[in-house]
Structure 1
Amino acid sequence: MRIAVLDNDRHQSELVCQVLSTAGHGCQTFGSSRELMTQARRDSFDMLIIHWHLPEGGASEAVHWVRDRFSATFPIMFITGRSNEDDIVAGLAAGADDYMIKPIRRGELVARVQALLRRAYPTQNAVEQIQFGGYVFQSRTGRVTMQGKPIDVTQKEFDLALLFFRNLGRPLSRAYILEAVWSRDVQIPSRTMDTHVSRVRSKLQLRPEHGFRLAPVYSYGYRLEQMSSGGVNNAAHNGSKHSPVNDSDAAD
């Protein structure tokens, strides 16, 4: 999971990221709400951790902005150095899901983050077999079937397809896809990703007549959409403000 940490205290934000990185999460720090908002327009995050006492009340503004832009279940946790009830109530009322009081305890931080992520993304929990409509993914063997028929995919294609299905209706940035599927090998040519996306679309037949459409999102990345009888299932968009372009505009 990729977690954004907003804190004007650089030492504090780096400590939080160090703890979360050790626990297996990707992490990016921001020193101001403006910086976070700019990056979030181009990139994808799974959670926000924010220091509640940013200068000029920036924390409340950032939380409201995130709540307006992302899904209602997007997890937000704030960190505060004050333990008085009014301070905590203000953060929760603004839209945060949980909080921690300084000094940060590493074990508690990881536990609270994991709990929020499990609640927000229940399908991300590791299971041996995962089903989406007529598609069944077997995580241990890297096999995928469509209506009971096996589909010949490479491990990277399997990982990419499962990533899209686990984030159904959600736009994924190119940077997010690179980190999630190719891990540390982030210097791969851009064309490599587009080629893999094209193969996944073709092999899994992700076309409207089969109930799903894998579409590019202009200047951002890709999104897998579930189709209803009247077109795209808007309920699966999770409140995203991004607009997909036609398949013909894909770079593949």
Structure 2
Amino acid sequence: MMVDQGGPIGRADVLRIACLEDDPMQSTLLQEWLQGAGYVCRAFAAADAFIRELRQESYDLLIMDWELPQSSGLEVLDWNIPVLFLTHRDSEQDIVEALELGADDFLSKPISQPIALARVRALARRNARISGRRGVLELGHFRLERESKTLLYQGEDRGLTEKEFQLVWILFCNVGRLLSRDHLLETVWGVGPGLMTRTVDTHMSRLRRKLGLLPENGWRLKAVYHQGYRLEQLSTGI
């Protein structure tokens, strides 16, 4: 598991991976390998269930068999989530097509455990938005320092609590992505899905006020009805 020098912040450190593979044996192996390496992995055998899950939950990395049973697989490449393709199609033309359409990496079957895990680690290193594991995030006038759990705005410490910092770290690592309430409860509070509570909404309202995450300031912290929250950057440099 990728952990920055500043140390982990609870369960928010765990890389969440969704895997689409219709071969049961290959799917089981991948899940065992990834979970054994410390990642959270959920496996899917059908494309429709996979797509539904991605519309409802937040994942950091997708591993997909290009030979999907119900769709081409290329439609997810514009979802702004790193994608590792697994496929028997290893011609030069196939590889070029996948990479030009936005795939982040390409692995030919049969795959081995060391190579698969090395590719996942490489993607985590290359993609800063995979849960912001560099220890410092800078967006506009905001600077988040993970080791000290400090958020600075134009150099001024905004005095966040630990839970507030964990929430804002996840939001800033996932600008533009919908984060479900269940995901936020699980990663910040360690609470299982389905709990009826206003805790997330209360904290989000407080962060919106504390940090000025409003359209007039170039940001929007948007509540998506019955789903979760999305932080949107409306103007760069703010």
Q: Distance in 2 between matches of 1:167 and 1:54?
A: 27
- Match of residue 236 from structure 1: none
- Match of residue 191 from structure 2: 185
Q: 1:41 is paired with a residue of what secondary structure?
A: helix
- Match of residue 63 from structure 1: 73
RMSD, aligned α-carbons = 2.6
Q: 2:36 aligns with which of 8, 22, 26?
A: 22
Q: 2:64 aligns with which of 33, 36, 50?
A: 50
Q: How does 1:129-168 map to 2 (within 5 A)?
A: 129-168=136-175
- Structure 2, unmatched stretches of 5+, are 1-14
- Deviation sequence 1:144-181 (CA, Å, 0-9, x none): 22222222222111010111112122222223323332
Q: 2:234 is paired with a residue of what secondary structure?
A: strand
- Match of residue 242 from structure 1: none
Q: How does 1:84-233 map to 2 (within 5 A)?
A: 85-86=90-91, 89-90=93-94, 93-94=97-98, 95=101, 96-121=103-128, 124-182=131-189, 184-186=190-192, 189-228=196-235
Greater Cα offset, 130-139 or 97-106:
97-106
* 1:225 partner amino acid: E
* 1:90 partner amino acid: D
Q: Distance in 1 between matches of 2:22 and 2:133?
A: 35
* 1:151 partner amino acid: R
* 1:186 partner amino acid: G
Q: Distance in 2 between matches of 1:32 and 1:201?
A: 38
Q: Percent identity?
A: 39
- Match of residue 238 from structure 1: none
Compared with structure 1, are the counterparts of its residues 27 and 173 closer, same or farther at alpha carbon in structure 2 (3 Å cutoff)? same
- Structure 1, unmatched stretches of 5+, are 234-252
Higher relative contact order (CA 8 A, sep 6+): 2
TM normalised by structure 1 equals: 0.74
2:136–2:143: 8 Å Cα contact kept in structure 1? yes
2:66–2:86: 8 Å Cα contact kept in structure 1? yes
Q: 1:190 is paired with a residue of what secondary structure?
A: coil
Q: 1:12 is paired with a residue of what secondary structure?
A: helix
Tell me by how many angstroms 1:103 deviates: 3.9
**Structure ranking higher in helix proportion:** 1
1:52–1:91: 8 Å Cα contact kept in structure 2? no
- Asked if residue 77 in structure 1 is aligned to residue 84 in structure 2, the reply is yes
Greater Cα offset, 162-171 or 9-18:
9-18
Tell me by how many angstroms 1:142 deviates: 0.9
Q: Distance in 2 between matches of 1:127 and 1:77?
A: 21
2:20–2:64: 8 Å Cα contact kept in structure 1? yes
TM normalised by structure 2 equals: 0.78
Q: Distance in 2 between matches of 1:103 and 1:129?
A: 38
Greater Cα offset, 114-123 or 14-23:
114-123
Compared with structure 1, are the counterparts of its residues 197 and 23 closer, same or farther at alpha carbon in structure 2 (3 Å cutoff)? farther
Compared with structure 1, are the counterparts of its residues 5 and 172 closer, same or farther at alpha carbon in structure 2 (3 Å cutoff)? same
* 2:18 partner amino acid: A
Tell me by how many angstroms 1:122 deviates: 5.5
Compared with structure 1, are the counterparts of its residues 39 and 122 closer, same or farther at alpha carbon in structure 2 (3 Å cutoff)? closer
Tell me by how many angstroms 1:31 deviates: 0.9
- Match of residue 51 from structure 2: 37
